Amino acid sequence: MAQTISYITGSQLLPLKRLPNIAIIDVRDDERSYDGHIAGSLHYASGTFTDKISNLIQDVKGKDTLVFHCALSQVRGPTCARRLAYHLEELKEDTGIKNILVLERGFNGWEASGRPVCRCTDIPCKGESA
């Protein structure tokens, strides 16, 4: 059975993002480097996402909820979330990932609502929000 992709609002995500079981996956391409990002998010650019799915699964070991986003979460974020869901279905092994979500309104909506943004250049981001 295919995994369902649900949406989460920035208001819902804000108090949850520090929980140890959640990973935020930023699939924007170049704009992450100059627009900032959600603190602690992992960067898997949409242009190379499919090639790096195995790396992502390794990077999120121990997480059961993944929240995808791009700039607006209208195309790249939902597409990458679906690609992961299909990959997990084909993999047929338990990765521990139970929830795949997409951040409504994406990074642009997150930032426009005054939510914290990190401007570090660390990979992976360990930064706190500015």
Question: How far is Cα 72 from Cα 83, in angstroms, rounded to an integer?
Answer: 18
pTM of the full predicted structure? 0.92
The pLDDT tens digits of the residues spanning 40-77 come to: 899 999 999 999 999 999 999 999 999 999 999 999 99
Joined tokens for residue 23: 């990973």
pLDDT at position 75 = 96
Residues involved in catalysis = 70
**Angle (CA) 59 37 118, round 5°:** 105
For residue 1, the model assigns a pLDDT of: 44
User: How far apart, in Å, are the Cα atoms of 24 and each of 1, 3, 44, 101?
Assistant: 24, 18, 10, 9
Number of H helices, E strands in the chain: 5, 5
User: What's residue 56's pLDDT?
Assistant: 97
pLDDT in tens, 75-89: 999 999 999 999 999
- Could you say which of 3.40.50.970, 3.40.50.800, 3.40.250.10, 3.30.230.10 is the CATH number of the domain covering 5-118? 3.40.250.10
The answer, yes or no, to whether residue 105 has pLDDT greater than 70, is yes
36 closest CA partner among 115, 104, 91, 101:
115
